[in-house]
């Protein structure tokens, strides 16, 4: 290992240790400010019930951003995939077929994004803003703007497997999220696919000269993001026993804040799965900590916005320094 690689490795682990210390520091602060809340098991069960949903989305988007791409349509892919799940589940009385329909819908939506961005050449930010409005509008029209009740799935085996409680207190969505995180960590760090993603994010022209099938990898990442969005949507529907036309709208800010706080560079080529997971936990506990400290919940968005601006600014300065 040469000197530059050693320096990069040390910087990477130093940052991960720093963000982990930030998480522990926040927990310590919240324990001190509101021990009656943060010393009780219920708050951690609540965290494990809600944090996995934006974390799943953040994991999929991390791979895209490392490759130098972007997807702003995932909240709307969630809503159209959730509608597919709810409709097929109610029509066939089979939530397994509903899950399959949701995954197919999410995958196709991701494929459309990939084709528009990679093959047609529309910038990702423009393309995915357009498809975001399209899928949101389509789902509202198809459902006539009405929510769909899904309480009939509450006592099914499918519900218990997806969002039930292991040992009567560990939410299953936490285990699913950890499984996806391990899979994505393996893809990014121990598989040639992860090397291709990083090379594309660093310099796509160099990646092409190295023989990497850049178009296929980029389209595959958009499809993967669509599949992850669909999975998260199904879990949200099951947890809430409902599908509604505004599903997914609150996740955009949370997901980006978690990704950039976790160490993924907005310029591509750099990012960690573990950092995204820790960043998601920090963002997930902030609101509860702020409210339990006696402050208004409106502070939450302000802090999330600051996290994004500060993180991106730091990466921009580091990027300029590296180029010099």
User: Which residues in 225-237 are b (16+ Cβ under 10 Å) and which e?
Assistant: bbbbbbbbbbbbb
Domain ranges of the chain: 30-323
**Which residue stretches of the chain have pLDDT < 70?**
1-15, 293-297, 315-316, 318-324
Q: Per the confidence metrics, is the pTM higher than 0.85?
A: yes
pLDDT at residue 18, rounded to an integer: 78
pLDDT at residue 61, rounded to an integer: 97
259-297 pLDDT per residue, tens = 988 888 888 888 889 999 999 999 888 877 777 766 666
30-323: CATH, from 1.10.1060, 1.10.3470, 1.10.8, 1.10.150: 1.10.3470
CA-to-CA distance for 103 and 224, rounded, in angstroms?
10
14-68 pLDDT per residue, tens = 667 878 888 888 888 888 888 888 888 888 998 999 999 999 999 999 999 999 9
């Amino acid at each position: 290992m040469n000197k530059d690689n050693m320096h990069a490795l040390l910087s990477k682990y130093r940052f991960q240790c720093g963000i982990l210390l930030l998480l522990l520091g926040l927990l310590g602060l919240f324990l001190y400010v509101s021990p009656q809340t943060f010393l009780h098991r219920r708050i951690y069960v609540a965290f494990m019930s809600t944090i996995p949903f934006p974390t799943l989305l953040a994991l999929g988007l991390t791979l895209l951003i490392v490759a130098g791409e972007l997807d702003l349509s995932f909240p709307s892919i969630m809503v159209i995939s959730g509608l597919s799940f709810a409709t097929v589940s109610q029509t066939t009385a089979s939530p397994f077929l509903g899950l399959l329909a949701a995954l197919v819908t999410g995958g196709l939506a991701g494929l459309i994004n990939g084709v528009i961005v990679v093959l047609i050449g529309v910038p990702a930010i423009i393309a995915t803003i357009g498809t975001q409005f399209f899928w949101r509008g389509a789902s509202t029209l198809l459902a006539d703007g009405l929510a769909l009740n899904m309480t009939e799935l509450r006592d099914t085996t499918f519900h218990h497997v997806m969002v039930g409680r292991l040992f009567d207190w560990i939410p299953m969505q936490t285990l699913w999220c950890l499984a996806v995180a391990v899979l994505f960590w393996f893809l990014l760090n121990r598989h040639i696919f992860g090397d291709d993603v990083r090379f594309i994010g660093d310099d796509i022209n160099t990646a092409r000269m190295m023989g990497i099938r850049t178009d296929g990898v980029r389209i595959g990442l958009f499809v993967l993001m669509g599949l992850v969005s669909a999975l998260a949507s199904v879990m949200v529907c099951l947890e809430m026993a409902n599908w509604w036309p505004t599903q997914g709208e609150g996740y955009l800010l949370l997901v980006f804040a978690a990704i950039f706080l976790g160490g993924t560079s907005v310029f591509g080529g750099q990012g960690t799965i573990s950092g995204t997971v820790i960043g998601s936990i920090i963002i997930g506990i902030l609101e509860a900590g702020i409210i339990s400290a006696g402050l208004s919940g409106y502070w939450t968005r302000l802090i999330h916005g600051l996290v994004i601006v500060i993180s991106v600014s730091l990466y921009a300065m580091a990027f300029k320094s590296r180029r010099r």
